Structure 1
Amino acid sequence: MSAARGEAAAEEVRRVVETVFRMESPRLIAATARLVREIGTAEELAQDALVAALEQWPREGIPDRPGAWLMTAARRRAVDLVRRRERYARKLAVLGRELETAPPAGDPAEDPAAVPDAEAIDDDLLRLLFVSCHPVLSPRSRITLTLRLLGGLSTAEIARAFLAAESAVAQRLVRAKRTLAEREVPFEVPVGEDRQARLGSVLEVVYLIFNEGYAATEGEDLVRPALCEEALRLARVLAGLMPREPEVHGLAALLELQASRLAARTGPDGYPVLLRDQNRARWNRLLIARGFTALGRAEEAARGAPHGPYVLQAAIAASHAGAHRYEDTDWARIATLYGLLARQAPSPVVELNRAVALGMAEGPERGLALVDALAAQGALDGYHLLPSVRGDLLARLGRGPEAAAEFRRAAALTRNARERALLLRRAAESGPDSAYPDGK
């Protein structure tokens, strides 16, 4: 084989190794973290398995079961590390027979029995998800750690996704792992009331990741599909791991239905397309079907109990998805659902959305009254969607100059360039001040 062909073959093997590792890294970290009880160490062990594959696979060929090879290699290193530690006796009491029956050193690819079964891997992933989203961490740290450990994203990829400095993301990861170690957070899935309390944090993290992709808070792009896809993948994994939790299926349904509209949310120029103007033929019917299926599972799992916040939001998304035309939207039902959501999870943002629905169901005067009441409370000061909604309601009432002022105020508050351009365009269309900067 020529040197050039040899280099090409080695490069192909390297790409395969990196692809497999990215797919398998959450499982590798989860399985080794169960053994060593430290996320940082588990990451290092998974990386060690990657290095071993990069060294061995070019010489020996890609194994038939590359994921199993990596899993076995990582677990052996975890077992060896635990055995070397001074606290081995205490760890051994926890690990029990798993360590006693650990396979001898050799070719991992020839020892498939060393790989945990699917149920054990699922348990490990669930533990890792709950640890990554532990309330001792700040919401931003939970998101970053979840994307790193469960999403397999690199530090650079996370930094790009959130328009942050790579060094800042790296420091956040280090601090998060140190906090978990110092607080001695157990590597386990909580039970009972603690589980319900912690589940809320897990769902919130996945929801926040999706929202940042669906409507980016800052930067040049309105939508970041990679974040939406990652959150959707995590929601599907979580639904498979916790099939009896209605809110888990509710979140999965919500994200499927919201993701179905991604292609229609922006035009060819990258600028936002309002819901009423979207081409519904571009909505993804497969994702809509998946969303309705997940919503049905949520209702079945609830067994008649009152719906939680994510199930209610999914029901709202389903009302939009079920309307073939904007004019067919059942705004009265959506307003009712927002009323239920306001009682389940009261917040000014929910009330603002209810105002939109009431403005469509009962007329813009009704919506404007609720928006003005929210504005008087001051809870949404600085939130650009409040003046944006107010501007829309005023425009529908024929109060163009007032609407234009609200759209300009909203544009000044948003940090997203595409959204700002849309708001300024609406300001120009609503009022006489068409010479307002960037308003043409």
Structure 2
Amino acid sequence: MSAVDDAIIRAHRDEWARVVATVAKRFGDLDIAEEAASEAFAIAVERWPADGVPPNPGGWLTTTANRKAIDLIRRENKRDGKHREALMIFDDEPAPSLGAIDDDRLRLIFTCCHPALSMESRVALTLRMVGGLTADEIARAFLVQESAMGRRITRAKVKIREARIPFRVPASADLPERISGVLAVLFLVFNEGYLATGADTDPVRDDLTAEAIRLARVIHELMPDDGEVTGLLAMMLLIEARRPARVSTSGELVTIDGQDRGAWNRDLIAEGHALVRERLATGEPPGRYQVLAAINAVHTSARDVRDTDWSQVVALYDQLITLDPSPVVALNRAIAIAEIDGPDVGLATVESLEAALNTYHAFHATRADLLRRLGRSRDARDAYDRAIELSGNTAETANLLRRRRQLAG
């Protein structure tokens, strides 16, 4: 693919989910919608460099995808004749709005997060269909093999088709049973944007973080009293506030301890802190996202890394691990413990997680940093090598390479 072709796809990649949602809503089939959208983008790559980008790129992609969907259906002989003929009637006018929210991407998210699907399938399918992530990127988020993730996504699409799950935002009464899956999706989409894992992508994907925040705001307006919705939005805002300082001019990831805090977005920090205080004032037991938001509030409250209240961070992680006893949470807790009790105590906790996190780059990067602080340069070098091997983010790899070069001996 040429640089021009790649630029076209990247410039209009935010249309992917909207095109998929529109086609899926019209034809009721995610497989057809995804294939038709892929063909529409492929035609754009072929034609636009020569013919120029049309005045309404999104409309062009949607129209082309709809026509490709009709072609796909015509080639299928298994569908009922009358149903197929009905789908042949092509309408260039936009389909009528369905549900309380006129947002194609959010509608598709709620469809993919139907309770008929397992939670893991809901999240994986939505990341693929809405976030536009590859099966490999999603597999890395779940710490599983790409082939296993591909099968999971395929089974989820079959389930939606067989169960005739409608492509619409559910009624208000149906939201609670789907919201946990929706929030998990937005959390992972944001994470992929915050630290992109694709080898051929920018290290920070602003399109994904911005879209995740936009959708979280929409859901917050829909469910203002839901603590976890508020918590997720607050967490995203507080992390996004640090984005201007996260990558250096040389393209290297800058960890929070080395960031220029004067470059942080104070408006986003103020908004995030206000949401955290709003939830604290309710006196209700916090959920996972509310605790994560509180952890980020502690970090963004410190004017200097030396002012960080690590005791409060550890206390919050102690609370979080009761809600989410995952090895990744335990790893982050160990990092905070090392700041209070020393790198030797932190390292012991980290190394106890090796069986669960051996293929996770952050595990090896954390272990390498703790070994470096303990003066164990040879062991640190090996750990950095493993972290570099597993890292898919160019900015993070650059940071790890520099840290490795700085080792003594």
TM-score surpassing 0.5? yes
Match of 2:129 among 141, 145, 152: 145
Q: Which moves more between the two structures, 177-186 or 422-431?
A: 177-186
SS of the equivalent of 1:418 reads helix
The more displaced of 392-401 and 182-191 is 182-191
Of 222, 244, 254, which residue of structure 2 is paired with 1:273?
Answer: 254
Shift of 1:310: 0.5
Aligned pairs for 1:34-433 (under 5 A) are: 38=28, 120-121=100-101, 128-134=108-114, 135=117, 137=121, 139-147=123-131, 179-186=159-166, 187=168, 189=170, 195-219=175-199, 221-299=202-280, 303-375=282-354, 378-432=355-409
Residues 421 and 240 of structure 1, relative CA distance in 2, 3 Å threshold: same
Report how many residues are paired. 339
Cα shift at 1:316? 0.5
Structure 1 vs Structure 2 CA RMSD: 4.4
Structure possessing the higher relative contact order (Cα contacts under 8 Å, 6 or more residues apart) = 2
Q: What amino acid does structure 2 have at the position aligned with 1:201? A: G
What CA deviation, in whole Å up to 9, does each residue of 1:359-412 have, x standing for no partner?
Answer: 01222222112112222xx11111121121112122222333332222222222
How far does residue 122 in structure 1 lie from its aligned partner after superposition? 5.8
8 Å CA contact 2:17, 2:129 repeated in 1? no
Distance 2:209 2:286 in 1: 24
AA in 2 matched with 1:143: L
Task: State the distance in 1 between where 2:267 and 2:280 align.
Answer: 20
Contact 1:235 1:251 in 2 (8 A): yes
Separation of aligned partners in 1, 2:279 and 2:16? 28
Q: Quote how far apart the aligned CAs of 1:43 are.
A: 7.5
Q: 1:298 to 1:189 in 2, by over 3 A?
A: farther
Q: CA deviation at 1:274?
A: 1.9
Q: CA distance change for structure 1 residues 126 and 230 in 2, over 3 Å: closer, same or farther?
A: closer
Write the distance in 2 (CA, Å) between the matches of 1:182 and 1:115. 24
Farther-moved stretch of structure 1 (127-136 vs 199-208): 127-136
Pick closer, same or farther for the CA change 1:197–1:393 going to 2, 3 Å: farther
Assess if the C-alpha contact under 8 Å between 2:109 and 2:126 holds in 1: no
Give a deviation string over 1:8-53, Cα, whole Å, max 9, x none. Answer: xxxxxxxxxxx9x969959x959x95xx793669979xx9xxxxxx
SS at match of 1:189: coil
The whole-number CA distance in structure 2 between the counterparts of 1:336 and 1:285 is 25
Structure 1 Cα separation of the partners of residues 128 and 325 of structure 2 = 27
- 2:17, 2:130 within 8 Å by CA — same for their partners in 1? no
What letter corresponds to residue 391 of structure 1 in structure 2?
Answer: A
Deviation at 1:211, TM superposition (A): 0.6
Does the 8 A contact of 1:382 with 1:413 survive in 2?
yes
Which consecutive residues of structure 2, in runs of 5 or more, have no partner in the other structure?
1-11, 38-54, 60-80, 84-92, 140-150
Shift of 1:129: 3.1
Cα separation, 1, equivalents of 2:358 and 2:31: 44
Task: Give the number of the structure whose alpha-carbon radius of gyration is greater.
Answer: 1
Q: Report the secondary structure of 1:182's partner residue.
A: helix
Greater alpha carbon shift after TM alignment, 130-139 vs 227-236: 130-139
Question: In the alignment, what sits opposite 1:52?
Answer: none
Deviation of residue 172 (structure 1)?
Answer: 11
